[in-house]
């Protein structure tokens, strides 16, 4: 009855704050240091990046896979709060046409933090692409009220916090 009259409890069910964890083991770097202006100048959106030390990419949030590029070098996830994240594995890896990438999910799959998304061959990426640096970018930044980024340093997949988000 109170819920109906005053809207009590109505908004509490919605996720308004969220943590984005590292999707891969490695070194966290600021997005501005990514050696590609599309990412470093935030043309695609704000975020962080990781220089991976392993080829196992896991989900950084609980949510749903909304896009899996046919070349498997990038994946989009919509978190429970509605934030859309792009994980772009390496730079100029689209030219590899999927070679060295194995997807473990498909569009529409529900994922939890730490669920395997993609496995990649880092040595092959080093050989065939410009960099292994993996940006994690917020694609719908207009939905986010505040992004709190964590310091650069060592990252453990699904454990190290990259960003704290507060959605509008």
Q: What residues contact 74, with CB distance under 8 A and at least 6 apart?
A: 67, 86, 87, 88, 89, 93, 94
71, 98 Cβ separation under 8 angstroms: yes
- In the chain, how long is the greatest CA-to-CA distance? 64
| Catalytic site residue from 73, 88, 104, 150 | 88
How far apart CA 38 and CA 31 sit, in angstroms, is: 10
Q: Is 88 a catalytic residue?
A: yes
Strands 26-30 and 153-155: antiparallel
Edge-to-edge order in the sheet of strand 153-155: 110-111, 63-68, 74-79, 84-88, 134-138, 47-52, 26-30, 153-155
CA angle at residue 8 from 6 to 12, to 5 degrees? 150
Give catalytic residues, as residue numbers. Answer: 88
């Amino acid at each position: 009855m109170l819920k109906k009259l005053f809207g009590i409890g109505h908004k509490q069910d919605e996720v308004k704050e969220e943590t984005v964890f590292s999707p891969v083991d490695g070194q966290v770097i600021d997005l501005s240091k990514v050696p590609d202006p599309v990412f470093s100048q935030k043309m695609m959106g704000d975020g962080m990046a990781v220089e991976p030390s392993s080829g196992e990419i896991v989900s950084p949030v609980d949510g749903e896979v909304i896009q899996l590029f046919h070349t498997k070098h990038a994946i989009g996830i919509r978190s429970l709060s509605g934030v859309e994240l792009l994980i772009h594995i390496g730079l100029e890896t689209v030219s590899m046409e999927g070679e060295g990438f194995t997807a473990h999910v498909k569009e529409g799959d529900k994922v939890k933090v730490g669920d395997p998304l993609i496995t990649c061959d880092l040595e092959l990426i080093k050989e065939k692409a410009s960099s292994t640096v993996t940006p994690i970018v917020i694609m719908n930044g207009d939905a986010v009220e505040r992004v709190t980024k964590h310091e650069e340093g060592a990252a453990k997949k699904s454990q190290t916090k990259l960003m704290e988000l507060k959605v509008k």
